[in-house]
Every structure is written in C-alpha cells, then in structure tokens.
Structure 1
Amino acid sequence: MALTTRRRALTTLGAALAGSVALPTAQALAGEQRHRPRPLWRAHAHNDYEHPRPLLDALDHRFGSVEADIFLVGDQLLVAHDPEDLDPSRTLESLYLDPLAARVRAHHGSVHRGDRRPLQLLVDLKTEGASTYLELDRHLRRYRGLFTTYAHGRVLPGPVTVVVSGDRAARVPMEAQRVRRAFYDGRLADLGGPAPAAFIPLISDNWTLNFTWRGAGAFPDAERRKLRGIVDGAHARGQRVRFWATPDQPGPERDALWAELVAADVDHLNTDDLAGLESFLDSHRRA
C-alpha cells in the first residue's frame, strides 16, 4: 500500500474511532441535562435564614426565590427575624451574598446549573428603610456582575435579582437612583399605579387581609375572580405576584389553597416547609 493511501486509511479509521467515542459522551451529557431536576421558580423560601443551612437548603430543594430579613447595626447588615436573635456572625454577606457569588462562579454564570434565569433574593428591611437600603446598596456594589441592575432606564439581567421589601421608607432613595442593583416590592395598592415593572417587578400582599378563604371547603367564586384579576393585572404590566400569610401547616387545606394559587398563575408560593412545597410543585406540572 502506498504511503499516501496508508495515511488516508489511518485518518479515516481515527475519525471513525473518535466519532464512536464522542457520540456516547454527547448523548450522556444531553441525557444528564434532560433528567436534571428543573428549578422550581414558583417556590419562595419565607424566613429562609431559619433553616439549618440558610440559602443552601432552599437551593437543594430547587427553590427560585429566598427571603432574608436584615437589621442595620452600625455598618453591618445582620440577618434575623427579631432583634433578640441578632448575631454578629450572621451577616447578609456570609449567609447569602458570598455563597451566591461562589455558586454563580462555579456554575459559570447561573445560580441553578444549566438555567440562566435569575434567583430572586427578597430582602426584608427590619430597620429604618432609607438608611438600611443605602447600606444594602453599598454592599451590593461590591459584587460586580452578580445582580440584575437598573441603569439609566434599562434593566440588565444578572444571576440574582434583589427585591427590597419591609420598611417602606426605602422607596424614596431607590426611586432617586439612576443606577441600582435592587428593585422594590410593591403592594396591591401599587397595582395599576404609575411605577413600572422596572421599579416594582413584584406585587406582594397579606393573603388574610384580602381573602377570607383559608383552604377549607370551596373557594368562593367572587374571591377566585378577584385573585385571577389581580394576577392578570400584574402580568399585563410585567409584574409578578406573591402572597404571604397563607396556610403553611401540612394538610388538605394548604394543598387546596396552593392548588388555587397555581391555577391562577400566582408567581411565588410562600412557605417555610421546603420539602413540602417541592413535593407539591413536582406533582403539579404547571408549576
């Protein structure tokens, strides 16, 4: 056999062998992506910091939204539900910001591997809103590229979207900023108001102040229409909807209320029961 012919034969054989090896690898990767449990973007971890591993437990249960309450103490943002629970070691950076930055680096730009949609970090301000927000803003600036940012009229998506809730005094300094790394958590009173979704992407309110039904018996038709009207109105403006103070004890009443929220396309279901909501949403294909 001529040298040129032998070279061609070896090249052809090498390509065939490479193809036979590469194909199963590509198939395996595709299969891994297909079978990887998808994030539960509707799942919101209320009082997330009270779990044994703040943030991480919620992410292990594939939650798409977590909530942290913060107190301004000096120039530190401490995470706790009540002042008597404050611990200098439990800062917003140590429990949330640093772990999120590390996870995004490890996952090449996303919180949930393979899904580029942003995680929502709802930050509830427990101390005076304006001063606490301004300190929060200083903290967020240290994490370049981590947060969805509003800049000069445009929203630039990032791996994490911070939404500021709690003390309402945060609104004034936030509205005055031309560049910010956080957004404002509105109330039902803001629905249909002048503030756009670029400022208020989320409408949250207390379920018990707006609905009488707690999951027992039939959902009153008038209340179902009211709920769906709220959701439709928010979605028409590019805003999401969340209710707190919904029943959270395991049982048929909680499941019935959650099912109505899913049917109405409410964007976030509030819970302290991570495994319970994960199981519920996995059983509801629309979630």
Structure 2
Amino acid sequence: MKLIRLLSVVLLVVVYVFTSVRAGEEQQLPLFQAHAHNDYEHARPLHDALKNGFWSVEADIYLIDGDLLVAHDRRDVKPERTLRKLYLDPLQAYFRKQSFPTKERTPPFTLLVDIKTDGAAVYPVLRQQLEDYAELLCRVEDGKSIPGAVQIVISGDRPKELIAVANPRYMGIDGRLSDLDSKQPADLMPLISDRWTSHFKYRGTGSMSEAERTKLQMIVKQAHTAGRRVRFWATPESEAVWRELVAADVDHINTDQLKRLSVFLRGQL
C-alpha cells in the first residue's frame, strides 16, 4: 500500500509539472517514445508536437547567408524560419517556465538536427548558436557530462570528428546500425537511427515474423546495453508496426501523424 501511495504521489507531481506550461495552451503528459519526423512541416513547429506530448522532434537545416534555416528542401527555405526562431528560442522559453522536481528521472527532450549539406561548414555556425543556450543543453565539459533539459543530436551530414573533439561539446552524433559495436561513449553517440525498410520486411500486414521480431529485440538490447537509444525512420504509419516497436522498447517512434501516434501511445499506458 505504501508503494501504491508513493506511485500516486509521483504521478500527481508529474501531471502538475507537465501541465503547468504555456498559458492558454493545453499540454499533455509527455510521451517519451514519440518522435515528430520533419516536425517543421506541421502548422506550428514544435508547439504542435509539445501539445501532443512528443518528447523528440526533428529539424532539417541549411546554412544560407550565414544563418541556419529550417526546411526539407533547399528551394523551400525562408529567411524567417531559422533554427533559433522555430526551435532554440521556444525550447528555452518552454523549459524556463517549468520546475522539475523529478528532473533526475526525466529524460531530456531530444532535438534531432539533420544537416542537409556540408556538415563541416554548418558546424561552427551551429556550435556558436548553441553556446547561447548552454544552460538549456546536455553538454560535456572537460570530460564531465552535465545534464540539461534538451539534448541536441546531429544527423544527416554529420561532422563526426569536429563534434568529437569539441570542448565544451553541445551535440551528440546520431549513429547507424553499423555503429552498434562502436566504442564511442554514449554521451557522444546517444542515439542509433536507421531506415526501417533497409532492415525489416514487415510493413504492418499480418504478423511480424519471429525472426524479425527477435532481430529487433536484439538491436534494442545491444543499443541499450551501451547506453544508447534506438530510432527507425521510414517506418510505416501502422499501429501494428507501432505495437511491435513499443513491445521491443524502441525509444523513439517516428511519425508524421502527431495526433494519431499520441492517441495510440496513450492507449498503451
């Protein structure tokens, strides 16, 4: 009974923390597995994801005229849609309004930044911008990991060497399944991502084969043993596939359909 009462108190605290956010905007309890793929294509980038409880979002960036602009394709960039305006400033404002009594047990919010071209040229601009948000970010200084509310993970054209030698370091590297055996520390490579359709045949019709289910479970187990999280992109927008990902304890479930995945994951609680 004491354990039940304790769990009830913890739940109430978490409910309070995550509903005490932007005035006038409904906020749902966080869904730590929910990842907004190409988040910037929604009507309200970041805010729609947060409203639906997502705890991970993806932003594609280009270096244009000295600034970092968010878009999927180069032809779609707009000068007002910067990484600062769409993500860094709103995340800073969001977390400044919150107090986290359960901070140690709350995973950081993931901002997955996909560098579309020339990572080496983008890196110094991105690093300079992130320095302005240092207190918000998970970072490594002089070999010591310092927790933060937001973890930046770099995907796409990843300047791995530049990231690895930075001190302080404000970014981690998005690995691939070929990196499952990597000896890199988890704070440098916190995430393993790969294309679902390159490794699995299951598309959500019928039952997943036991061989593929076992393969998925082993991938997750190996990544978790190394302290890394797992994400697949190009997963079918299928509840049958989502059930397999949840059952295998995949950390980030990729979707373009925010409300649908939110409803699905809440049904699994």
TM-score by length of 1: 0.82
**CA distance, structure 1, for counterparts of residue 57 and residue 37 of structure 2:** 6
CA apart distance, 1:146: 0.8
What is aligned with 1:124?
A: 114
Whether 2:16 is the aligned partner of 1:33: answer yes
Maintained 8 Å contact 1:69/1:124: yes
Which residue of 2 is the match for residue 163 of structure 1?
Answer: 153
Matched, 1:50 2:34: no
- Over 3 Å counting, the alpha-carbon distance change for 1:231 and 1:113 in structure 2 is closer
Please report how far the alpha carbon of residue 30 of structure 1 lies from its aligned counterpart in structure 2 after TM superposition: 6.2
Structure (1 or 2) with the larger CA radius of gyration: 1
Partner of 1:69: 60
State the secondary structure of the residue aligned to 1:247.
Answer: coil
CA contact (8 A) 2:112 2:155 kept: yes
2:222 is aligned to 233
TM-aligned CA deviation for residue 220 of structure 1? 1.1
> Which one of the candidate residues 130, 155, 164 is aligned to 1:175?
164
For the 8 Å contact 1:207–1:245, the answer to whether it is kept is yes
- Flag structure 1 segments of 5+ consecutive residues without an equivalent: 1-28, 249-253
1:186-197 equivalences in 2 (<5 Å): 186-197=175-186
Q: For the residues of structure 2 that align with 1:72 and 1:180, how far apart are their CA atoms?
A: 20
Indicate the residue corresponding to 1:24 in structure 2.
none
Amino acid in the other structure paired with 1:237: A
Say how many residue pairs are matched. 251
**Residue 246 of structure 2: aligned partner:** 262
TM alignment of 1:240-255, pairs within 5 A? 240-248=229-237, 254-255=238-239
* Structure 2 match to 1:276: 260
Partners of 2:229 and 2:15 in 1: how far apart? 31
CA displacement at 1:224 relative to structure 2: 0.8
Contact 2:37/2:256 (8 A) holds in 1: yes
Check whether the contact 1:208–1:246 (CA below 8 A) recurs between aligned residues.
yes
Partner of 1:198: 187
1:134 to 124, 127, 134: 124
1:31–1:116 distance in 2 versus 1, CA, 3 Å? closer
Deviation at 1:153, TM superposition (A): 1.9
**Matches of 2:14 and 2:124, distance apart in 1:** 46
Conservation of the 8 A alpha-carbon contact between 2:34 and 2:254: yes
Q: Summarize the Cα distance change of 1:212–1:78 in structure 2 as closer, same or farther, 3 Å threshold.
A: same
Q: Per the alignment, in what secondary structure is the counterpart of residue 179 of structure 1?
A: coil
What is the aligned counterpart of 1:212 among 197, 201, 210?
Answer: 201
Question: Map of 1:81-92 to 2, 5 A cutoff?
Answer: 81-92=72-83
Displacement of 1:129: 1.0
Return 5+ residue gaps in structure 2 as ranges.
1-11, 20-27
Q: Distance in 2 between matches of 1:46 and 1:142?
A: 25
Letter in 2 for 1:200: M
Q: 1:200 to 1:31 in 2, by over 3 A?
A: closer
In structure 2, the CA distance between the partners of 1:237 and 1:114, relative to structure 1 (3 Å rule), is closer
Q: Counterpart of 1:282 in structure 2: which amino acid?
A: R
> In structure 1, which of residues 138, 144, 156 is the aligned counterpart of residue 134 of structure 2?
144
CA distance in 1, matches of 2:54, 2:41: 15
Structure 1 match to 2:211? 222
Q: What is the percent sequence identity of the aligned residues?
A: 50
Give the whole-Å Cα distance in 2 for the aligned partners of 1:284 and 1:52: 27
TM-score between the two structures when normalised by the length of structure 2:
0.88
CA drift at 1:199 = 0.7
Q: CA-atom RMSD, angstroms?
A: 2.3
Please tell me whether the aligned partners of residues 45 and 274 of structure 1 are also in contact (alpha carbons under 8 angstroms). Answer: yes
Look up the match of 2:86: 95
> 8 Å contact 2:53–2:262 — kept in the other structure?
yes
